[in-house]
Amino acid sequence: MGALGFSLSYGLWVRRGEADGPQGRAFSLRIVSWIDRRITTPAFIAQLITGLLLVATIDWDLLRQAWLELSLGIYVLLTVLAITVYAPSFRKQREIAEAIAEGGAEGGADESAYAAAASKATTWGVIVTVLTLVIVVLMVWKPALWS
């Protein structure tokens, strides 16, 4: 759950940075990137490992529960999306923001390019966050789906 809390704060960091202009925006995106690399991603990995260890200590048959099967499937999907789409989109957003902060529109780094990159990163960030929240709901609610 700690990883989710950090990732839910990303939007606040970015919005606050946007309000502070190009340098504030670049700074906030660097902070989000730092938090993600050093706290959020390792926490999500640790949650998977500890969750599987918990299942192993309780009963492997627990993996046959529909809510857990669905949660693990969504976890795999969101991991793939986070690595292949969201992370590169966010990285591009951060790079353009830093280029603008360092000197303006050099190399095509202008506000319209930033807006497009930010829109794509935000869209994928919301998708990944919603999938994460669905997992949390499934883990708490444990609905009887198909099993």
The average pLDDT across 106-128 equals: 89
Q: Which of 24-38, 50-64, 83-97 has the lowest mean pLDDT?
A: 50-64
pTM: 0.86
The pLDDT of residue 2: 64
The average pLDDT across 97-124 equals: 86
- For residues 102 and 83, give the distance between their C-alpha atoms in angstroms, rounded to a whole number: 27
pLDDT (tens digit per residue) in 120-143: 999 999 999 999 999 999 999 999
The average pLDDT across 108-121 equals: 90
C-alpha closest to that of 30 among 86, 90, 102: 90
Distances in Å between the Cα of 131 and the Cα atoms of 35, 40, 73, 91, 137 are: 20, 15, 11, 21, 10
